[in-house]
């Protein structure tokens, strides 16, 4: 028997994993004290094997994950798998300036103490898997991103920077036709502003699918959409694995003229139309 233990942030995906036959669900409690501290508990948990499913979308979610790991061990679990569909702090994978921490390593070390293995979905840099002190598997959701797309006219799949080229190619392959291209991107790390240099690919009248791993502030994606619309593209679709959608991201994308915005359920958002459950279930099955 295996019991799935969802964090408060990742309940839909955990339910989809249960529906896929990965395990049965337990219902944790998620409480908060007057001083702001969280308390996640597993009053009904009674199993040897636990799979915790927790996207660390903010600082509270990190603490909740650690609490759930500790709670299932206290309740007798001898084998704990931790599925982290979205790894927060994953983009802080190096010290960009003197004196900075490698935050992805710091959180990975903390998470490793409470688990026997980790499963990640498309972390921003695959090398963050090396920061965990337990066996860590990376699942790619890129092949699922094409699911909601159909009847595209002469499509071009565009990566808004070189780092997303593979995602764009895999999405194109899953769709079954179309070309791929990418933009050059420079980010000013003091202001957060991004500057995109488009390629010379012909975009006039074509359906364009911009594919990225994360939409956070929406700066990168809205910049790409604006450039493409200025150059006479037909419809511009924005697809991503992790729809962080911080602050005014949705408004920025709408103002830029996006035709449709698609993300996955690694983060629960209204646009999480694609479930990564099949890919995660496969990875858990083959461990
Ligand atoms: C960066 O290299 C990533 O692939 C994304 O392009 C980036 O994280 C998106 O961030 P934002 O939405 O804030 O521009």
**Considering the chain, what percentage of its residues have pLDDT values greater than 90?**
92
Give the chain's count of helices (H) and strands (E).
7, 16
Whether 159 lines ligand 1, by a CB cut-off of 6 Å, is no
Say if CB 139 and CB 281 are below 8 A apart. no
- The string of pLDDT tens digits covering residues 12-32 is 999 999 999 999 999 999 999
Q: CA neighbours within 13 Å on the CB side: how many for 193?
A: 2
Give whole-number Cα distances, 231 to 20, 188, 235, in Å.
44, 24, 12
Is ligand 1 within 6 A of the CB of residue 222? no
Ligand 1 centroid – CA 164 distance (Å): 10
Residue 97 catalytic? Answer: no
Q: What is the pTM of this model?
A: 0.95
Mean pLDDT of 257-281: 98
Nearest to residue 82, comparing CAs of 136, 48, 113, 118?
118
Tokens of 261: 């915005």
Per-residue pLDDT, 196: 81
Distance 123 CA to ligand 1 centre (A): 12
The answer, yes or no, to whether any atom of ligand 1 lies below 6 A from the CB of 163, is yes
pLDDT at 189 over 80: no
Q: Mean pLDDT over residues 178-183, rounded?
A: 95
Closest residue (by CA) to atom 10 of ligand 1?
216
Ligand 1 near 217 CB (within 6 A) = yes
Q: How far apart, in whole angstroms, are the C-alpha atoms of residue 57 and residue 238?
A: 21
278 lines ligand 1 (CB under 6 A): no
Q: Using pLDDT thresholds of 50, 70 and 90, give the confidence band for residue 286.
A: low
Spatial separation of the C-alpha atoms in residues 10 and 25, rounded to whole Å = 12
Gap between the Cα atoms of 236 and 187, Å rounded: 22
Ligand 1 centroid to 8 CA: how many Å?
25
Q: Are 256 and 229 in contact (CB under 8 A)?
A: yes
Instruction: Summarize the confidence of residues 111-122 as an average pLDDT.
Output: 98
Q: How confident is the model at residue 180 (pLDDT cuts 50, 70, 90)?
A: very high
Residue 200 pLDDT exceeds 90: no
Q: What mean pLDDT is predicted for residues 259-279?
A: 98
pLDDT band for 1, please (50, 70, 90 cuts): confident
Taking the centre of ligand 1 as the mean of its atom positions, its distance from the CA of residue 210, in whole angstroms, is: 12
**Residue 287 in this model has a pLDDT that exceeds 70:** no
* Residue 120, pLDDT score: 98
Residue 93 Cβ < 6 Å to ligand 1: no
- The atom of ligand 1 lying closest to the CA of 91 is 8
95 φ, ψ to 5°? Answer: -90, 110
């Amino acid at each position: 028997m295996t019991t799935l233990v969802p964090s408060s942030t990742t309940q839909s995906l955990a339910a989809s994993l249960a529906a896929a036959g990965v395990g049965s669900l337990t219902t944790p409690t998620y409480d908060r004290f007057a001083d702001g501290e969280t308390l996640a508990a597993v009053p009904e948990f009674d199993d040897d094997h636990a799979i915790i499913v927790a996207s660390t979308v903010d600082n509270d979610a990190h603490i909740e994950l650690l609490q759930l790991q500790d709670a299932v061990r206290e309740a007798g679990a001898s084998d704990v798998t931790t599925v982290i569909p979205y790894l927060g702090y994953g983009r802080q994978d190096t010290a960009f300036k003197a004196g900075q921490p490698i935050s992805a390593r710091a959180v990975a070390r903390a998470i490793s103490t409470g688990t026997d293995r980790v499963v990640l979905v498309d972390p921003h840099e695959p090398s963050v898997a090396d920061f965990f002190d337990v066996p860590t598997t990376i699942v790619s959701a890129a092949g699922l991103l094409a699911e909601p797309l159909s009847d595209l006219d002469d499509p071009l799949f565009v990566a808004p920077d070189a780092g997303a080229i593979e995602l764009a190619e895999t999405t194109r392959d899953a769709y079954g036709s179309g070309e791929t291209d990418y933009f050059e991107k420079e980010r000013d790390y003091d202001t957060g502003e991004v500057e995109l240099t488009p390629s010379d690919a012909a975009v006039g009248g074509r359906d364009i699918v911009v594919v990225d791993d994360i939409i956070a502030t929406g700066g990168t994606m809205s910049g790409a959409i604006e450039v493409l619309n200025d150059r006479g593209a037909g419809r511009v679709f924005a697809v991503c694995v992790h729809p962080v959608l911080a602050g005014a991201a949705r408004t920025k994308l709408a103002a830029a003229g996006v035709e449709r915005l698609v993300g996955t359920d690694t983060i629960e958002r209204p646009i999480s139309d694609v479930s990564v459950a099949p890919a995660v279930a496969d990875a858990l099955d083959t461990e």
